[in-house]
């Protein structure tokens, strides 16, 4: 397994790459989610700049994260700017040489988060995105969603469990489609991650690594949270990853500290992944 960390495309992008390279990372996950870069007519030049900066710091963008709708935007809502950004994000992922890009599934919020309606809405949009992915030479990995505090388990975002994600893979039947497992999201949803990972099996193409106390999606570094207060049991998680033959990337997706602390934080982040692999 290789180490990676998210580098969001914003005003601090180059500095994040510099810190990642200095800390020992050879890969990063480029995060497009909060950037407006794909709404601009100059997006192709911006992507070219991303590639140049990655080369400058000897880093590979093995994964990316697509722009996404807000979780409370019901799945029947179509926004032209967001759709354009997602499709351009798929193109950009291919240009950067990424193997996989993460996609947030959408929920039929206006219809009580109906699993059936949500499934059909996601299937329909993903068929379009997969055509773009095939042209770009990149895979799309659908991500499991969190369960937020005080949410009822029956009213959960689509993709909150592995079942619907596996079902999407079965229906779409594309080698360009798989699953991105977010350990922190699964923990908030109270999922037995050993069971889930075994069910996902070879469909697992990406990971988002972070920790929490099960009471919120806090995106903490693994190894710093305390098991006595309900953090993730990483020993069983890592052993299960080994048992299913996962040899891909462990991509840290954590909340970043103030910029003045980031250089040391990246070193700690790298050590955090090395600690997980030692388990």
Q: Which fold has domain 2-278?
A: TIM Barrel (3.20.20)
What is the model's pTM?
A: 0.94
**Alpha carbons within 13 A on the beta-carbon side of 173:** 1
Task: Note the pLDDT tens digit of each residue in 63-90.
Answer: 999 999 998 899 999 999 999 999 999 9
Residue pair 122/177 in contact (Cβ under 8 Å)? The answer is no
What lies within 8 Å, CB to CB, of 149 at 6+ separation is: 215, 216
- 3 pLDDT exceeds 90? yes
State percent of the chain over pLDDT 90.
Answer: 82
pLDDT of residue 230: 78
Confidence of residue 226 (pLDDT cuts 50, 70, 90): low
pLDDT of residue 215: 81
pLDDT of residue 72: 87
Residue pair 38/84 in contact (Cβ under 8 Å)? The answer is yes
Task: Note the pLDDT tens digit of each residue in 133-180.
Answer: 999 999 999 999 988 655 555 557 899 889 999 999 999 999 999 999
Residue whose C-alpha is closest to residue 141's, from 276, 253, 278: 253
pLDDT of residue 48: 97
Task: Note the pLDDT tens digit of each residue in 186-224.
Answer: 998 889 999 999 999 999 999 999 999 888 888 999 977
Task: Return the CA Rg of the chain.
Answer: 18
pLDDT of residue 149: 55
What lies within 8 Å, CB to CB, of 6 at 6+ separation is: 28, 29, 30, 31, 65, 251, 252, 253, 254
Task: Note the pLDDT tens digit of each residue in 229-267.
Answer: 778 999 999 999 999 999 999 999 999 999 999 999 999
pLDDT of residue 165: 96
pLDDT of residue 151: 55
Query: What does the pLDDT average to over 29-55?
Result: 93
What is the distance between the alpha carbons of residues 108 and 114, in angstroms, rounded to a whole number?
Answer: 6
């Amino acid at each position: 397994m290789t180490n990676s960390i998210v580098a969001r495309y914003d005003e601090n992008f180059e500095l994040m790459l510099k810190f990642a390279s200095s800390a020992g990372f050879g890969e990063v996950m480029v995060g497009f989610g909060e950037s407006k870069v794909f709404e601009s007519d100059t997006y192709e030049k911006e992507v070219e700049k991303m590639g140049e900066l990655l080369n400058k710091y000897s880093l590979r963008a093995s994964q990316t994260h697509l722009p996404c709708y807000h979780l409370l935007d019901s799945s029947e809502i179509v926004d032209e700017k967001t759709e354009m950004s997602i499709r351009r994000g798929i193109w950009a992922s291919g240009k950067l040489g990424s193997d996989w890009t993460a996609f947030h599934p959408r929920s039929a919020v206006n219809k009580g988060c109906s699993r059936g309606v949500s499934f059909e809405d996601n299937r329909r949009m993903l068929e379009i995105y997969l055509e773009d992915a095939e042209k770009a030479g990149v895979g799309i990995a659908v991500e499991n969603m969190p369960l937020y505090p005080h949410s009822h388990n029956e009213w959960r975002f689509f993709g909150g469990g592995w079942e619907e994600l596996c079902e999407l893979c079965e229906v779409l039947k594309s080698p360009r489609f798989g699953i991105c497992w977010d350990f922190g999201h699964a923990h908030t949803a109270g999922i037995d991650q050993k069971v889930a990972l075994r069910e996902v099996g070879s469909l697992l193409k990406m990971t988002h690594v972070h920790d929490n106390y099960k009471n919120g999606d806090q995106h903490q570094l693994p190894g710093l949270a305390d098991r006595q207060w309900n953090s993730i049991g990483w020993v069983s998680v890592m052993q299960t990853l080994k048992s299913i033959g996962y040899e891909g990337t462990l991509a840290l997706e954590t909340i970043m500290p103030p910029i003045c602390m980031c250089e040391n934080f990246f070193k700690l982040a790298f050590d955090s992944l090395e600690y997980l692999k030692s388990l």
